Amino acid sequence: MIKDRGTIKWTSLMLPEHVQLLKQLWEEEEQQNEPILDEQMKEIIARKLINSYKYGTNIHMKLYEDGQFYMYKGIVTCIRKHSKTVILNDEKEVAIEQIISIS
Protein backbone atom coordinates (compact mmCIF):
# COMPACT_ATOMS: atom_id res chain seq x y z
CA MET A 1 0.00 0.00 0.00
CA ILE A 2 1.35 3.42 -0.95
CA LYS A 3 1.52 5.91 1.91
CA ASP A 4 1.87 9.27 0.22
CA ARG A 5 1.94 12.48 2.27
CA GLY A 6 0.48 14.67 -0.49
CA THR A 7 1.73 18.24 -0.51
CA ILE A 8 3.56 17.78 2.80
CA LYS A 9 6.11 15.65 0.96
CA TRP A 10 6.93 18.45 -1.47
CA THR A 11 6.76 21.54 0.75
CA SER A 12 10.50 21.61 1.33
CA LEU A 13 11.00 21.93 -2.43
CA MET A 14 8.29 24.57 -2.98
CA LEU A 15 8.89 28.30 -2.94
CA PRO A 16 6.72 30.41 -0.62
CA GLU A 17 5.16 32.04 -3.69
CA HIS A 18 4.04 28.63 -4.94
CA VAL A 19 2.52 27.76 -1.57
CA GLN A 20 0.64 31.07 -1.56
CA LEU A 21 -0.68 30.49 -5.07
CA LEU A 22 -1.84 26.97 -4.15
CA LYS A 23 -3.70 28.28 -1.09
CA GLN A 24 -5.34 30.98 -3.21
CA LEU A 25 -6.37 28.38 -5.79
CA TRP A 26 -7.94 26.16 -3.11
CA GLU A 27 -9.86 29.12 -1.67
CA GLU A 28 -11.23 30.00 -5.11
CA GLU A 29 -12.38 26.41 -5.63
CA GLU A 30 -14.30 26.48 -2.34
CA GLN A 31 -16.29 29.57 -3.35
CA GLN A 32 -19.75 28.90 -4.69
CA ASN A 33 -21.85 30.82 -7.18
CA GLU A 34 -24.70 32.97 -5.99
CA PRO A 35 -28.08 31.35 -6.67
CA ILE A 36 -30.57 33.38 -8.68
CA LEU A 37 -34.01 33.82 -7.11
CA ASP A 38 -37.15 34.37 -9.16
CA GLU A 39 -39.89 36.83 -8.19
CA GLN A 40 -42.03 34.15 -6.58
CA MET A 41 -39.24 33.11 -4.18
CA LYS A 42 -38.58 36.77 -3.31
CA GLU A 43 -42.26 37.21 -2.49
CA ILE A 44 -42.27 34.11 -0.27
CA ILE A 45 -39.19 35.37 1.58
CA ALA A 46 -40.82 38.79 2.09
CA ARG A 47 -43.99 37.21 3.49
CA LYS A 48 -42.04 35.05 5.93
CA LEU A 49 -40.03 38.06 7.11
CA ILE A 50 -43.22 40.05 7.73
CA ASN A 51 -44.85 37.12 9.55
CA SER A 52 -41.83 36.73 11.80
CA TYR A 53 -41.93 40.45 12.57
CA LYS A 54 -45.70 40.54 13.26
CA TYR A 55 -46.06 37.33 15.27
CA GLY A 56 -42.57 36.96 16.77
CA THR A 57 -41.92 33.54 15.26
CA ASN A 58 -38.44 32.03 14.92
CA ILE A 59 -37.01 31.72 11.42
CA HIS A 60 -33.94 30.03 9.94
CA MET A 61 -32.24 32.08 7.22
CA LYS A 62 -29.75 30.90 4.65
CA LEU A 63 -27.59 33.78 3.38
CA TYR A 64 -25.07 34.13 0.58
CA GLU A 65 -22.12 36.45 1.18
CA ASP A 66 -18.69 36.58 -0.49
CA GLY A 67 -18.95 33.14 -2.09
CA GLN A 68 -20.05 31.38 1.11
CA PHE A 69 -23.37 30.31 2.61
CA TYR A 70 -24.26 31.20 6.21
CA MET A 71 -27.15 30.15 8.46
CA TYR A 72 -28.81 32.43 11.00
CA LYS A 73 -31.67 31.76 13.39
CA GLY A 74 -33.81 34.27 15.24
CA ILE A 75 -36.79 36.58 15.34
CA VAL A 76 -37.13 39.60 13.07
CA THR A 77 -37.26 42.65 15.33
CA CYS A 78 -37.04 45.38 12.70
CA ILE A 79 -37.54 45.71 8.94
CA ARG A 80 -35.90 48.76 7.36
CA LYS A 81 -37.46 49.43 3.97
CA HIS A 82 -35.28 52.39 3.00
CA SER A 83 -31.99 50.49 3.49
CA LYS A 84 -33.51 47.09 2.59
CA THR A 85 -32.21 45.38 5.71
CA VAL A 86 -33.65 43.18 8.45
CA ILE A 87 -32.52 43.04 12.08
CA LEU A 88 -32.57 39.70 13.90
CA ASN A 89 -32.77 39.54 17.71
CA ASP A 90 -31.89 43.27 18.00
CA GLU A 91 -28.25 42.54 17.06
CA LYS A 92 -27.63 41.08 13.59
CA GLU A 93 -28.35 43.28 10.56
CA VAL A 94 -28.90 41.39 7.30
CA ALA A 95 -29.37 42.77 3.79
CA ILE A 96 -32.53 41.40 2.20
CA GLU A 97 -30.83 40.67 -1.14
CA GLN A 98 -28.42 38.26 0.64
CA ILE A 99 -31.26 35.99 1.81
CA ILE A 100 -31.48 32.75 -0.18
CA SER A 101 -34.16 30.89 1.77
CA ILE A 102 -36.20 31.03 4.98
CA SER A 103 -37.83 28.23 6.90
CATH number of the domain to which 48 belongs: 2.30.30
Flag whether pLDDT at 92 surpasses 60: yes
**Which value, in Å, is the radius of gyration of the alpha carbons in the chain?**
21
Instruction: Identify the domain containing residue 97 by its residue range.
Output: 39-102
Q: What is the pLDDT of residue 8?
A: 61
Flag whether pLDDT at 75 surpasses 80: yes
The whole-chain average pLDDT of the chain stands at 81
8 found inside a domain? no
Q: Do residues 61 and 102 touch, judged by C-beta distance below 8 A? A: yes
Q: What is the pLDDT of residue 9?
A: 61
Average pLDDT over residues 32-57: 85
Pick 26 or 30 by higher pLDDT: 26
Flag whether pLDDT at 99 surpasses 80: yes
Question: How many structural domains are present in the chain?
Answer: 1
Instruction: Collect all residues with Cβ–Cβ distance below 8 Å to 102 and sequence separation of at least 6.
Output: 44, 45, 48, 49, 59, 60, 61, 62
4 found inside a domain? no
